[in-house]
Each structure stands twice: as structure tokens, then as C-alpha cells.
Structure 1
Amino acid sequence: MVVEYSFRVRWGDTDAAGIVFYPNFYKWMDEATHEFLAAIGYRTSTLYAEQQVSVPLLEANCQFKSPLLFEDNVTVHSKVVELHQKVFKISHTFFKEEKIVAEGYEVRAWTSFKEKPKACPIPNEVREKMMPENAEIVQG
């Protein structure tokens, strides 16, 4: 499944020249991951409130291909590209109109916070919804 997350670049996301400051791509990847989970029926706030489960970040990377500017409209396409027993890798492709401006990924662990944080198996019903076989785009 591919989930779309769209937003407009704000002034506070840019440097003095009006170009997006690079850490914001990591913020947007984080937001896109939470949008992805909500789109498949697992809102992170609900997961934590009801099950004390969250998906902490283990690794992140982003390659920048073209700058984004103040007031650009951006769409991020996110999909799970690797699914392990306790860990998943989600890719994020940033588009300005039809042009790819950045590509990145995050590696996250399905983690219980009932006691001390501990990675635990991703439930089968979640795994089925994360799997990329059905590559339809869901707007979120």
C-alpha cells in the first residue's frame, strides 16, 4: 500500500534564502509514517493509549535531489519496503508536482512500552495491511 501525505512548505521550514532546511525532511518522514499507520487503521496515539505500543525510530536516511522553497506544495508517497518480525523499513518519496525532490527511508521497531521498552513481533493483522502487494494510493 502506498499512502500519500501532502503539505505546503511553511516559512519556518526554510532558511534565510527561503530554501527548506534539511532536517525538516526527517520531520516530514516521521509525519508521513504516522499518516501511513493511521491510513492502515493503526493511529499511533491510539496504539499507545490502548496497548502501550509505539514505533520508535532506529535509522533514517534521506537523499536530496532538488530544493524545496517556501510555499511549495509537496506530496510524500510512503510504503513499507521491508517487513521483518519486529522491524519494518518504510520508504518516503517527496514530490513537487510530478518531480521527485527527495527520497528517504526510516527503519522502525514495533515496541511495547508496558514495562521497559522492548521490541515485539508485529501482529499478523498489522503485517497484512503493511504489505506492499496492494500498491494502491491512499490519500491521507
Structure 2
Amino acid sequence: MVATELRVIYGDTDKMGIVYYANYLRFFEAGRNEFIRAKGLRYRDFEELHRLALPVVDAQVSYRSPARYDDLLRVEVRLTEVRRASARFGYRVLRGEELLATGHTVHACVDLDGRVQRMPRALLDRLLPGEDVAT
């Protein structure tokens, strides 16, 4: 698991001062990027080195309590499942110890023309250590 902190900016909120629901997917993305970075990779390097991309093909968010402007959030990210040509990440968004949202994203592994490809072993070797992952 990798945790990332971020502060809610005014532009993340709606007229009521509550984080707009779709912005949780942006929080997930920020956490996922830091997860990949913590494993010694940069997403850009993955695209350039392997000529592959990991587009989101499924996303789900469950909201429990609202985040508000200037809240300091912690986004926890886990790699929860790896298949031949996809990976699933799980997320928890917290304010202190209060759980605000949970969710997941599933990413297909595709070449730059959008054709499904097997996950490269070199990528898996970097992402899997320390993770409790279903395969």
C-alpha cells in the first residue's frame, strides 16, 4: 500500500463547498501515480520504454462522508489484482482516520494503437513486491 496526501483546493468543490463527486477519480489518479512512482517507475517511462498504456476501463467510487475545501486528505492505493492484460487498483480516501470514500479502477494494458497486450514481466516485477495481489 502507498499513501499520498493532498489538500482539497477551492476548484475541487461545488457551490456548497463540498468536493465534487467526479474529483475523487482525480484523487485516485494522483494516488495511483504516486504508487507507481514509489515502485521506482514513472508512468511516462512506462509509455516510452514499453510503448504501452494503462487506460481506465472500469471505475467505481462509494462515498461515505464529504470532503471539503482545505481538507488534508490521505489517498491509500493498493494493487489488488493482476490479470494477463489488466490490473485493478483499490483506493481509500481518508481525512485523518475518517473514511470518506472507497473505490477501484481497472486498467487494460494496451499498445499505443489501443490493442490489448500482455502485462510486461518487467512492470509486474516492479509493481508486485510488497503487495497482496490476486492473480
TM-score (norm 2): 0.90
C-alpha distance in 2 between matches for 1:44 and 1:127: 13
Q: Secondary structure at the match of 1:118?
A: coil
Q: 1:118 aligns with which of 111, 115, 119?
A: 115
Structure 1 residues 19-28 or 50-59, which shifts more? 50-59
C-alpha distance in 2 between matches for 1:19 and 1:77: 20
Structure 1 residues 78-87 or 35-44, which shifts more? 35-44
Q: Show structure 2 runs of 5+ residues with no match.
A: none
Report the alpha carbon displacement of residue 112 of structure 1 after superposing the two structures with TM.
Answer: 1.4
C-alpha distance in 1 between matches for 2:46 and 2:125: 17
Mapping of 1:17-36 within 5 angstroms?
17-36=16-35
Aligned to 1:134: 130
Report the alpha carbon displacement of residue 129 of structure 1 after superposing the two structures with TM.
Answer: 3.2
C-alpha distance in 2 between matches for 1:45 and 1:104: 24
Report the alpha carbon displacement of residue 109 of structure 1 after superposing the two structures with TM.
Answer: 1.3
1:89-123 CA-partner distances (Å, limit 9, x unpaired): 1001001001111001000012211xx21121112
C-alpha distance in 1 between matches for 2:79 and 2:102: 14
Report the alpha carbon displacement of residue 134 of structure 1 after superposing the two structures with TM.
Answer: 2.0
Q: Identify which of structures 1 and 2 has the higher relative contact order when contacts are C-alpha pairs closer than 8 Å and 6+ apart.
A: 1
Report the alpha carbon displacement of residue 5 of structure 1 after superposing the two structures with TM.
Answer: 1.5
1:19-64 CA-partner distances (Å, limit 9, x unpaired): 1010000111122222211221221112223332211010000000
Q: Show structure 1 runs of 5+ residues with no match.
A: 136-140
Aligned to 1:138: none
Which consecutive aligned stretches of 4+ in structure 1 deviate over 3 angstroms post-superposition? Answer: none
C-alpha distance in 2 between matches for 1:60 and 1:73: 23
The root-mean-square deviation of aligned C-alpha atoms, in Å, is 1.7
Residue 79 of structure 2 corresponds to residue 80 of structure 1 = yes
C-alpha distance in 2 between matches for 1:130 and 1:16: 39
| 1:14 maps to amino acid | T
| 2:33 maps to amino acid | H
Aligned to 1:98: 97
TM-score (norm 1): 0.87
C-alpha distance in 2 between matches for 1:119 and 1:38: 24
| 2:115 maps to amino acid | K
